[in-house]
Structure 1
């Protein structure tokens, strides 16, 4: 593995005041990381700024199966606590509810100590080099063509047409699970994609039985166990990211495409390091890309604010570790003011890539957002854009968990870094073929079931079920350890795509940049104004939960049957299941808080070229730009818009020369 230390000169200890950058990009995640690398290859000078430090040489980053542990790994975690509902009583029914106790501790559950105050539901993000690509489950699924067509229809910009967006996928992908003759894929990009080696699965009859149960639940049952990898492959439809014309309408059982390279996590960091390593004929860096870590951006700086059209000319930042209060290590001392280190100047543009929570927060702290909200905090209004921090959307997710009669062989000896040595980690380190390096070489999520619910808005599947050998009931403090406390459980994650909720908000808590915003998703009936549609998402989720239950019931018995352990007897009929879903559902693909929209849309924050409306020199490139949440898993759509943004920005720069 290439480490950041192999090109330390690009990782700055401090800024050289005499050095000028064309573009300053804030945030090194799925949007900002590829954008910085691509713009540098186009000949532009780029400074990539991130509030976190570099943890890419840790096992938590590198080992695919440790993605749960990575989300609660203190050196890289940002822990937000959010609300699903504005109604406190409804919110507090969630079993994952977190409370701040009188003793200063955090409690999770429905029976907090007397005098506790509500804190919210854990929403893990990453404050580190690579952003959330440093801890995600590495799932790579193309969005539907309709997701791109929505932007075309809203803006009239045909450069967003589905066939044009697909070229960005083929540009960034380095496919390693299909022959190069398969159309619709890329084979020389920066993101390696693979699927779990089925030789890891075959030795455990319990896992092959689960696959057969899943196949039976969608009408693909074979009626007998499969004991060879070749036989197992016949159960799966070939390619979830296929380029075939009916790809968006297919249902059934698939192997999950993953961003994993030879048993290691693959992500934007690979692209960045590749660009940093390229040298000219004299051995000097070929590209002008610098990286400043542990640099917390507090606001965008504008020229001519109040005197004509404002122009972004740079950012204000504070240098140091654990400044932001989403970091569990951050100081809560409110008597100590934040002292900015200085300003960073952008000769051409500032680009915000902080994600769906932090980008609207930075915009508002900079004077761009709803004027009434800014005035409430005495923030001078640079541009009244009422759509900033609105329109927030997410998936809905819940789980059904089955308990096996005995341990899964694949994870039986794994300690998930709780002990030294960890036998599974020692296997992963070996210089051997993937099947001999064990389960840590995969993300753990190997299977995908696609189904269209009875209330799907069109012919596109809206239910996505993913299976993994863990006991996962959602995000709460300590969940990553509790989910792997034994090797007996299998989880079907039920995900509702194409959700109808669009009323989530990101509001300032204070004008202190260190404070996290107030984040409210307004789930289910509280997130739509259409009474007819209010219950459709929960109805679809009930159908998905029942399908997951059936998949567990359909597991062929080896010795003893699997038994459902969650939600189990808590839910006995569809009415109870609907209430359970609305109480417990969560998400982890927050998006759409600075949406692209048409010129006639007063709530549009961006135009179709990622430019913030009403100001010059400022763009947004991250999950917040979508008007509607795309696809099933959001990281690949963000990679694709990052590549598109690089082309748009480069084209604009050439026109201005």
Structure 2
């Protein structure tokens, strides 16, 4: 422990449920569990309240990512698969978690993803089982149908920004045989479309706003920020260990709080396995390295790490793009006025405008790659736009075979774990990366776009052979910020939770967040994480009926 930490003391409070992490999952859990006034619920968040005004502006992720006030600012270890580079991995350190600084894109994945989860032995996780939970959360701007709900806490809306270059990108995709699909979250995913976003009337709609804010006035819900969980407390007097509370750091003090029913980890794909490892729930080999007593040996904690790696292609254009609207302080001022008075324009921009789900090979049964199109270009979020007209078309493999791991490097809960993504370590992923660049270039060479493009700025036309394209993929790829699966659900030796999201071999402890995905979903991960929390909350309430 750091020298600033005083000796542990109890705050003499006991709750029925303690939820660790007020992110995409934690805010949902806090709302649903506290809806019954008989349940005493504590929500612990290591970060701050969502006061930063940039959190609530859709394009504000340019200001909140890589900002230590709102972002954990994780960094991966050097990774051979991406030419030895280290990548920044932003994760939200604020109420709402990553839903307060993500790209706002509402994507559920493919129905086959969830059917596959059930095939792996996770009863109750097929698409037909999880669809009601997606609908339960949703307040869909377009109205209700067989796939969408209205009246839920999560606002889902169409974009309030459109640009001619985006329409040309859609036209080019259609010209190479990719169909237009108005609803990629509906009957089928394949096709090109405008994204929908978790926003309402020009404002970001995080889970802190949609789920937590309406519940804050409940007397049975306590929300504590700046509370950094250090470990789980266990009663090991019986045959099976039982989680009975949490130890956490707050304002230099080491405090404890008790849970009479359950402790629920919702700290995300990095935070949840880190807390388990610090608490003695991991492989005995790792724990012995740090002299942490083994509470339960679960070698899968921190393993099976999956993420979507995107290959960025940037094209200089004749057509004006958002670069031209944002490349001077005067123009930025005009954009600010447009947003202030109309809630429209560039400040309502989600991380991308256009999505494509398609195949690298026609014989495939379902899409294996996804495009994110932006009518602008920058080296990374947080950097200024390039001083020329350009657009970005990033492409990622939807279901990578490569997987990595993360592990603590110290018993100090404030020290970050070592993150090893292990990108492009599987030959099957290597081939998809090569083919995905070819698909991107095929779109760029379609008649609708070809005459508007001046040059391929990144990676550049010097990369032509398969070997060269792989080199480009390794050098010009970035994360899409989708870490998952580090506490995977299942029954095999590497599984951490069962299909009720209960940690194997421990009573009173669940993990409910993106880390429980047995395999990463085919698309962005925020909407699936919210669904997992909705379903998890119902399971908790069912299992604790008196």
User: Normalising by structure 2, what TM-score?
Assistant: 0.92
User: Offset of 1:219 from its aligned partner?
Assistant: 5.2
Report whether the alignment pairs 1:188 with 2:89. no
Out of 71, 76, 81, the residue aligned to residue 77 of structure 1 is 71
1:438 aligns with 2:345: yes
Question: Are the aligned partners of 2:243 and 2:507 in contact in 1 as well (CA < 8 Å)?
Answer: yes
Q: Does 1:210 align with 2:101?
A: no
Distance, in Å, in 2 between the alignment partners of 1:562 and 1:253 is 24
Question: 5 Å matches for 1:239-638?
Answer: 239-242=183-186, 244=187, 247-248=188-189, 251-276=190-215, 285-286=217-218, 288-304=220-236, 308-320=239-251, 340-405=253-318, 407-408=320-321, 410=322, 412-414=324-326, 422-430=333-341, 432=342, 437-454=344-361, 459-473=365-379, 479-486=380-387, 488-502=389-403, 504-525=404-425, 534-554=426-446, 556=448, 561-587=453-479, 588-598=481-491, 601-638=492-529
Give CA deviations for 1:119-169 in whole Å, capped at 9, x if unaligned: x32212221111111111111111222222233223352x22221210001
State the distance in 2 between where 1:311 and 1:524 align.
39
- The change in CA–CA distance for 1:187 and 1:219 in structure 2 (over 3 A counts) is closer
For the aligned residue pairs, the C-alpha RMSD in angstroms reads: 2.5
Call closer, same or farther: CA 1:487–1:265 in 2, change over 3 Å: farther
Matched with 1:51 is 46
Answer with 1 or 2: which has the greater Rg. Answer: 1
Relative to structure 1, is the Cα distance of residues 594 and 648 closer, same or farther in structure 2, using a 3 angstrom cutoff?
same
Give 1:148's aligned residue: 114
Partner SS for 1:47: strand
CA distance in 2, matches of 1:58, 1:485: 26
Tell me the CA shift for residue 376 of structure 1.
Answer: 1.1
The verdict on how the C-alpha distance between 1:219 and 1:620 changes in structure 2, with shifts beyond 3 A counting, is: closer
In 2, are the aligned partners of 1:217 and 1:547 still within 8 Å (CA)?
no
Which digits, 9 at most, give the CA deviation of each residue in 1:570-589, with x for residues without a partner? 41222210232244433321
SS in 1 for 2:381: helix
What is the CA deviation profile of residues 370-397 of structure 1, one whole-angstrom value per residue up to 9, with x for unaligned ones?
0111011111111111111111111221
The number of aligned residues is 536
Q: Please list every run of 5 or more consecutive structure 1 residues that lacks an aligned counterpart in the other structure.
A: 1-14, 98-119, 221-235, 278-284, 321-338, 474-478, 526-533
Q: Deviations over 1:296-315 (max 9, x none)?
A: 1100011126x532111111
C-alpha change, 1:402 and 1:546, in structure 2 (3 Å) is: same
5+ residue gaps, structure 2: 1-8
Does the CA contact (< 8 Å) of 2:153 and 2:211 recur in 1? Answer: no
2:101 pairs with 1:138:
no
Once residues 452 and 184 of structure 1 are traced to their aligned partners in structure 2, the CA distance between those partners, rounded to angstroms, is: 23
- Cα 1:390–1:206 shift into 2, 3 Å: closer
| CA deviation string 1:474-521 (max 9, x = no partner) | xxxxx324352446220001011011123x111111111111111111
Task: Give the Cα–Cα distance (whole angstroms) in 2 for the partners of residues 576 and 72 of structure 1.
Answer: 31
Task: Evaluate the alpha carbon distance shift between residue 154 and residue 554 of structure 1 in structure 2; reply closer, same or farther with a 3 A threshold.
Answer: closer
- Corresponding residue number in structure 2 for 1:328: none
Structure-2 change in CA distance of 1:561 and 1:617 (3 Å)? closer
Q: Is the 8 A contact 1:455 1:540 kept in 2?
A: no
* Deviation (angstroms), 1:42: 3.3
How far, CA to CA, are the matches of 1:388 and 1:567 in structure 2?
A: 37
Distance in structure 2 (CA, Å) of the matches to 1:557 and 1:350: 53
Greater CA deviation, 484-493 or 123-132? Answer: 484-493
Over 3 Å counting, the alpha-carbon distance change for 1:444 and 1:514 in structure 2 is closer
Report the Cα offset of residue 556 of structure 1. 3.7
Asked whether the 8 Å contact 1:214–1:555 carries over to 2, the reply is no
Note closer, same or farther for the CA distance 1:396–1:52 as it changes in structure 2 (3 Å cut): same
Q: Secondary structure at the match of 2:72?
A: strand
Structure 1 residue 340: deviation in Å? 4.1
Displacement of 1:357 in angstroms is 1.2
TM-score, normalised with respect to structure 1: 0.77
Residue 59 to residue 554, structure 1, CA distance change in 2 (3 Å)? farther
Q: Equivalents in 2 of 1:146, 1:170: separation in Å?
A: 18
- Whether the 8 Å contact between 2:323 and 2:389 is mirrored in structure 1 is no
